[in-house]
Structure 1
Amino acid sequence: MKKKIIKWVIGILIVLLVVDGGATLYFYNVAAIRSSAAVKQVSKKSPNHALVVQFDQLKKTKKTLTTDGLKLDAWYVAADQPTHKTVVIVHGFRQDKSAMRQYGELFHQLGYNVLMPDNRGAGASQGKFISYGYYDKTDVIAWTKQLTKEDPTSDITLFGLSMGAATVMMASGQKSLPSSVSSIIEDCGYSGVWDEITYQAKASYHIPAFPLVYSVSLENKIRQGWFFQEAKSTTALAKDHLPILLIHGSADTYVPTKMVYENYKAVKSGTPKSLLIVKGAAHAKSFETNPKLYRTTVSAFMNHYNPLH
């Protein structure tokens, strides 16, 4: 009888391991493997669609960069009036640079040069995996170094949306970030990869963190070399000395609004910081929900920390 019980227990454990293994591979593919699916764009009904149309008419220069063995691609749009001031715009999860055209046009209208990269694993850039900012932060730093090499008087602001926002926050705490970067704007970025994925597992799939998210994190360690717990915006912000504007929608249920308060609180003591909560805005919809407030807030921040004159 005892032997039978042991066999049953072992059998159940094997079944559970097989199920967890299959689920791990499925969810890892959902979370971290490059996709060829079409990128969602700004709706023609959006109040900001005109910005996309205007941006499409601008002259774009292709720029490339090779880092970590991957060739990365970007658009560069020079300001109408020559300037050393540039904004690097970083897109979100399962997006590419084309999804950021409304922001590109916003900063172009404000008078800045604009660099819009495709993250690794997205758009015209190489790469199989999505790294949630862990490797993207070093890619962004490489882009800023290239801009600075091309123009040693560059004054750069990093802007990111969602995963891109987490990327620029993670970059803010890196010693390798060149002094030419003078400020950060993040819009709806998560406090950490582990925090976001465990939240999504529960909110979207009703799955607790244990054991599946731990298994997916282990799979990521095997394939990409890092655990989800290692990529935290809050840890980087604790080292950030650059002025930062944090933006979030009050109705964000994808990256919950509470995370912006965690990020805001984490910013290194003494570092200038501003917070904008856009009432009624869902995830990554703050600009489209209240274009006037968004533009005014971003413009004021830029005029203070990266002024054109």
Structure 2
Amino acid sequence: MAIKKNLGISLLGASAAAFIFSEYLFKVAFKRIDYVPETSKDKQKYAHRYWDYVAWFKEVNKEHWTFSLNDGDDLMSAYYIPAKNGKSKKCVIIAHGYKGNGETMTGYAKMFYDMGYNILLPDDRGHGQSAGKYINFGWLDRIDYLSWLNKIVMRVGQDAKIVLFGVSMGGSTVEMMSGEKLPQQVKCIIADCGYSSINEELTYLLRQQFHLPKYPFYPLVSTINHRRLGYYLNDVSAKDQLAKNKLPIMFIHGEKDTYVPSYMALENYQATTSAKELWIVDGATHAESFWYDTKEYTRRINNFLEKYI
């Protein structure tokens, strides 16, 4: 009897510890932060170039756009940069990465600006100047971006030609947008190093960063997310959304990516039956492809866009 009682106490204690640690994991991974964390050491060699792009962004002509999520004070924020010729119908919406914001994407913005595009740089929920207590890994952002798309069409006109572009979490965001009913002005998608699903990504990070198994932590974090944000993590799948995609799409991924492993790019590529391209960048780590070889990155994207824009 005593053995059973002690076993029960031990199991209860283990369950409580698992739940407490899952709450900690949720807070670390999902709670908004009001600053951009320092980049990884392997990318700090690009800092001078990055700050040059930020300086360009601060000086370039731009407009601050907002919309309210619930007709209240919960405003979403974005910056719109008109094309330099003032008459271009080409537009790109650029989705930023995890714990970043629109400003962190200014290198990509300058690339598209030099190609003659109008540019929108949103801050996702829980990031930058946008509302939101929690990061949703692109799942709710994909719906918010429909509002941004409508604003672009109103600004540029019904004959706008729009590209969806994103990196890391932003790459998955535009991949997940592909399964929605998009305005006919959206012509193609470019996704750089997006994860295939939150299930796979969080399970991978649990193992790599915390040396923990999927169970019981992933289901507990998923349950916490459902209580806070209204959906289970298994809903967040780029692969499932890409299965519904009809738009031309280009996948880019660093071959040495250890944060979102490059096999996920192949999974995403295989998930869609639309016109598609895949470029695995030899030697590049996570979200490094643009910085690793900017000239080749720009050339390949320009060649892809010439087919569809």
Q: TM-score range by the shorter chain?
A: over 0.9
Q: Is the 8 A contact 1:249 1:284 kept in 2?
A: yes
The alpha carbon displacement at 1:56 in A equals 3.1
Q: How is 1:262-273 mapped onto 2 (pairs within 5 angstroms)? A: 262-268=267-273, 271-273=274-276
Q: Is the 8 A contact 2:31 2:134 kept in 1?
A: yes
Pairing partner for 1:54 from 49, 53, 56: 56
Pairing partner for 1:162 from 161, 168, 183: 168
CA RMSD in angstroms comes to: 1.5
SS of residue paired to 1:209: coil
Deviation string 1:161-195 (CA, Å, 9 cap, x unpaired) is: 101110100001112x1111111000000000111
**Correspondence for 2:231:** 226
Q: Distance in 1 between matches of 2:136 and 2:46?
A: 32
Please say if 1:304 is aligned against 2:307: yes
Q: Distance in 2 between matches of 1:48 and 1:265?
A: 35
Q: Is the 8 A contact 2:35 2:128 kept in 1?
A: no
**One-letter code aligned to 2:14:** L
**Correspondence for 2:189:** 184
The alpha carbon displacement at 1:45 in A equals 4.1
Pairing partner for 1:9 from 7, 10, 16: 7
Q: Is the 8 A contact 1:40 1:99 kept in 2?
A: no
Please say if 1:63 is aligned against 2:61: no
Unpaired runs of 5+ in structure 2? Answer: none
**Correspondence for 1:171:** 177
Q: Distance in 2 between matches of 1:40 and 1:265?
A: 34
Pairing partner for 1:209 from 205, 214, 223: 214
**Correspondence for 1:285:** 288
Residues 184 and 68 of structure 1, relative CA distance in 2, 3 Å threshold: farther
Q: Is the 8 A contact 1:65 1:73 kept in 2?
A: yes
User: Aligned pairs, how many?
Assistant: 301
**One-letter code aligned to 1:286:** S
Q: How is 1:23-172 mapped onto 2 (pairs within 5 angstroms)? A: 23-40=21-38, 43=44, 45-46=46-47, 48-49=49-50, 50-68=52-70, 70-81=74-85, 82-150=87-155, 151-172=157-178
**Correspondence for 2:263:** 258
TM-score w.r.t. the length of structure 1 is 0.93
**One-letter code aligned to 1:32:** F
SS of residue paired to 1:210: coil
The alpha carbon displacement at 1:47 in A equals 7.5
State percent identity of aligned pairs. 36
The alpha carbon displacement at 1:285 in A equals 0.4
TM-score w.r.t. the length of structure 2 is 0.93
Q: Distance in 1 between matches of 2:112 and 2:69?
A: 26
The alpha carbon displacement at 1:63 in A equals 0.5
Q: Is the 8 A contact 2:54 2:103 kept in 1?
A: no
SS of residue paired to 2:162: strand
**One-letter code aligned to 2:58:** D
Q: Distance in 2 between matches of 1:62 and 1:162?
A: 24
Q: Distance in 2 between matches of 1:198 and 1:144?
A: 32
**One-letter code aligned to 1:53:** A
Deviation string 1:99-155 (CA, Å, 9 cap, x unpaired) is: 101011110011100000000110000000111111010011111012123322221
